[in-house]
Amino acid sequence: MRAAIYKSYGPPDVLQIVDLPKPTPKENEVLIKLHATTVTSGDARLRAFNLPPGFNLIGKFIFGAKAPRNQVLGTELSGVIEAVGQGVTKFKPGDEVIAFSDAKMGCYVEFKTFPETGAIVHKPKSLSHEQSAAICFGGTTALSFLRRANIKPGDRILINGASGGVGTAAIQLAKHFKAEITAVCSSPNHALVQSLGADHVIDYRTTKITELPDQFDIILDCIGSLNQQNTRSILHPKGRLLLIVVSFRDLLAAPLQSMGSGKKVIAAPVVTKPEDIQFLAELADQGEFTPVIDQTFPLDQIAAAHALVDSGRKIGNVIITF
Ligand SMILES: NC(=O)c1ccc[n+]([C@@H]2O[C@H](COP(=O)([O-])OP(=O)(O)OC[C@H]3O[C@@H](n4cnc5c(N)ncnc54)[C@H](OP(=O)(O)O)[C@@H]3O)[C@@H](O)[C@H]2O)c1
């Protein structure tokens, strides 16, 4: 089967297309024929080994010091079950599914085995494989942080980096939770974020968000430019600051920063449960969550797809088709 691999950390052209053996499902696994996967900001970070400050040492330990231990990137997929192991009861050949391998990665392949008890659910009927492939990375990140912030109807939320993979999912989920949304992105993306549910829009290039006269119940920072200090005046005294991109130091400091203040800083990494994927898939079928697609590339143009993600300007998601 065809696959994209990388044998060393570096720019997009470290990716190469190779032939790998087609896997066989074990007793409790399914074999999925992929229709689509994505290139996420996480994939691009790992390919370049460009981790947030302070994570290099632990990152080398986990992902490989001199070269990547796992040569196949890709965290999410949409496809069709081709075969199932003898013990599989939830799925059958022909079922359309989405799955999230998260940090285990391995989705830049034509065929992938997946445990039936993992983060795998039936694909939403109303979405294409391309849209469905992009449900999990942005969706589970946004959902996990919004739930930890106890988002509730009427909450005023500011989403910084609203036009990216996580931001476009966060707008739609915050809308589902009936929050009042202020989306921060450059003005060419304002119409898009409004169409997703943003009530107010701000261009970070012309307005300093840390000096806004407003106060927010929740601030979700998908960029890494906000912290407890510079959001002091715009976060409600009982507000929650959600930091998706943090240095190792800020990650450790977050619980301490919450002490002695009504404000809460939440920075812990995302832990995804299969129920979260099911929730997102159902929301998609109800028409409340549709992953935004920037561009779609065939597998053999995966380096170009990574270059687009490296630009830091992608809108929503970048898709790879097989
Ligand atoms: N903690 C976790 O578990 C976790 C999980 C997922 C992702 N992440 C991290 O979260 C970050 C966001 O991920 P993503 O996938 O959403 O990224 P992304 O899709 O690559 O973000 C691209 C978007 O960022 C916007 N942008 C760039 N600079 C900006 C600025 N200064 N202010 C506001 N918007 C800006 C761009 O819009 P404009 O062109 O309009 O500027 C573009 O649409 C990444 O660093 C990723 O590594 C962390």
**What DSSP designation does 66 have?**
S
Segments of the chain assigned to CATH 3.40.50.720: 137-266
By alpha-carbon position, which residue is closest to atom 35 of ligand 1? Answer: 161
Q: Determine the Cα–Cα distance for residues 12 and 192; give it in Å rounded to an integer.
A: 28
Give the residue ranges of the chain where pLDDT is below 50. none
By alpha-carbon position, which residue is closest to atom 48 of ligand 1? Answer: 244
Residues with a CB atom less than 6 Å from ligand 1: 40-42, 45, 141, 160-161, 163-167, 184-186, 189, 204, 222-223, 225, 244-245, 269-270, 309, 312-315
What tens digit of pLDDT does each residue of 229-239 get? 999 999 999 99
Q: Determine the Cα–Cα distance for residues 178 and 199; give it in Å rounded to an integer.
A: 11
What tens digit of pLDDT does each residue of 195-216 get? 999 999 999 999 999 999 999 9
Q: Determine the Cα–Cα distance for residues 87 and 92; give it in Å rounded to an integer.
A: 11
By alpha-carbon position, which residue is closest to atom 32 of ligand 1? Answer: 161
Question: Which pLDDT value is given to residue 17?
Answer: 98
Residue 199 neighbours by CB distance under 10 Å: 15
Question: Of 117, 124, 118, 123, which is closest to residue 89 (Cα–Cα)?
Answer: 117
Question: Which pLDDT value is given to residue 151?
Answer: 98
Beta strands of the chain (E only): which ranges?
2-6, 15-19, 29-39, 76-84, 96-100, 111-115, 120-122, 156-160, 180-184, 200-202, 216-221, 235-243, 264-266, 293-298, 317-321
User: Nearest 5°: phi and psi at 41?
Assistant: -60, -30
Question: Of 105, 102, 99, which is closest to residue 36 (Cα–Cα)?
Answer: 99
Mutate to test the pocket of ligand 1, among 187, 222, 226, 295 (most ligand atoms within 8 A of CB): 222
Q: Determine the Cα–Cα distance for residues 262 and 64; give it in Å rounded to an integer.
A: 40
Segments of the chain assigned to CATH 3.90.180.10: 2-135+291-321
**What DSSP designation does 5 have?**
E
**What DSSP designation does 291 have?**
-
- Name 172's Cβ contacts closer than 8 Å, sequence gap at least 6: 196, 197, 283, 288, 289, 290
Domain 2-135+291-321 has CATH 1.20.1440.120: no
- pTM value is 0.97
Q: Determine the Cα–Cα distance for residues 40 and 20; give it in Å rounded to an integer.
A: 22
The size of the chain, in residues, is: 322
Domain 137-266 has CATH 3.30.1280.10: no
Contact between residue 308 and residue 298 where contact means Cβ atoms under 8 Å apart: no
Contact between residue 224 and residue 246 where contact means Cβ atoms under 8 Å apart: yes
